[in-house]
């Protein structure tokens, strides 16, 4: 039996020496007339990390960032939704102006998911909401804002005109705050209430019954004793629910969640 030390010595003595050793360790080079092997392809870089969700961005759809424009600019602002090629986009729009009778002109692009939103010459807020479908399922509603700053000059009031009384407080005013999700179960909101919620920074959903996959909504409906029901949720899942006795009750529920 050969001990390990003797075995190593035997291998060392058997290794080639001199020119033969140099030939043994010289790297293989192509002979004359032969081509060198092609270099290995560069590794494919890792794809960039997806951008985090935000009010104007969700998986499968994105809208431009909010913009501010002066009231005297006029013209149009182009709003293009970034979606997969060929995907259909559903847009919705709500606006609040001072004075409230300002009109917004909207034109659609015949090619691509694009809106051209006219800018009235009066201050206010235009909120554009959009959604699409990915693998047959609707995406989260995303939204962006066009803020119209300033105001055109107003004629001076007549010195003989009586002072105008202060307008009464709006009982359906929605407080500003974080983005909310308002779900109507077994009841549909009016067009006016739905637009107020969208302008107030809320995504609005409507279901005739509780969706089977929404256990959170089913739990709220069970605690409330059934439908109809309105559920208000924050982005992190905190929720409050109430019976939609009237539009004021829905607005109070939204403001209550915002005040927490």
Q: In angstroms, how far is the first alpha carbon of the chain from the final one?
A: 84
DSSP code at position 216:
H
**According to the model, what pLDDT value does residue 29 have?**
55
Percent of the chain at pLDDT > 90 equals 35
Q: Are 92 and 105 in contact (CB under 8 A)?
A: no
Give the range with max mean pLDDT: 79-88, 113-122, 151-160, 220-229. Answer: 220-229
pTM across the whole model? 0.44
Q: Which superfamily does 57-149 belong to?
A: Immunoglobulins (2.60.40.10)
152 pLDDT more than 80: no
Q: What are phi and psi of 186, to 5 degrees?
A: 75, 10
C-beta of residue 163 within 8 angstroms of C-beta of residue 84: no
Q: Is residue 65 pLDDT above 60, yes or no?
A: yes
Q: How crowded is residue 198: how many other Cβ atoms within 10 Å of its Cβ?
A: 22
**Domain range 180-259, CATH architecture:** 3-Layer(aba) Sandwich (3.40)
CB atoms within 10 A of CB 146: 21
Higher pLDDT, 94 or 180: 180
Looking at the predicted structure, is the pLDDT value of residue 20 above 80? no
Domain boundaries, the chain: 57-149, 180-259
Structural contact between residues 76 and 84, judged by C-beta atoms closer than 8 angstroms: no
Helices and strands, number each (H, E), in the chain: 5, 15
Average pLDDT over residues 204-218: 93
Three-state DSSP class for 113? coil
Per DSSP, helices labelled H in 47-111 are none
pLDDT in tens, 48-58: 544 556 889 99
């Amino acid at each position: 039996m050969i001990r390990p030390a003797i075995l190593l010595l035997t291998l060392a003595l058997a290794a080639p020496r001199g020119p033969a050793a140099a030939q043994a360790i010289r790297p293989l080079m192509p002979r004359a007339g032969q081509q060198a092997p092609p270099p290995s392809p560069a590794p494919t870089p890792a794809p960039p990390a997806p951008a985090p969700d935000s009010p104007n961005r969700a998986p499968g759809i994105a809208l431009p960032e909010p913009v501010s424009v002066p009231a005297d600019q006029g013209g149009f602002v182009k709003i293009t939704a970034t979606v997969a090629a060929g995907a259909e986009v559903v847009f919705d729009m709500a606006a609040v102006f001072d004075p409230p009778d300002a009109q917004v002109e909207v034109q659609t692009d015949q090619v691509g998911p694009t809106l051209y939103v006219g800018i009235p010459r009066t201050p206010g807020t235009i909120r554009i909401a959009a959604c699409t479908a990915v693998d047959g399922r609707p995406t989260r509603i995303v939204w962006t804002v066009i803020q119209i700053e300033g105001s055109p000059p107003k004629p001076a009031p007549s010195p003989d005109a009586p002072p105008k009384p202060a307008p009464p407080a709006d009982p359906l005013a929605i407080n500003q705050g974080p983005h909310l999700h308002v779900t109507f179960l077994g009841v549909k909101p009016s067009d006016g209430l739905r637009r107020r919620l969208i302008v107030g920074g809320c995504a609005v959903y409507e279901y005739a019954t509780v969706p089977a996959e929404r256990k959170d909504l089913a739990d709220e409906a069970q605690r409330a004793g059934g439908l109809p029901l309105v559920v208000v949720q924050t982005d992190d899942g905190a929720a409050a629910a109430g019976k939609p006795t009237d539009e004021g009750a829905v607005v109070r529920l939204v403001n209550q969640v915002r005040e927490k």
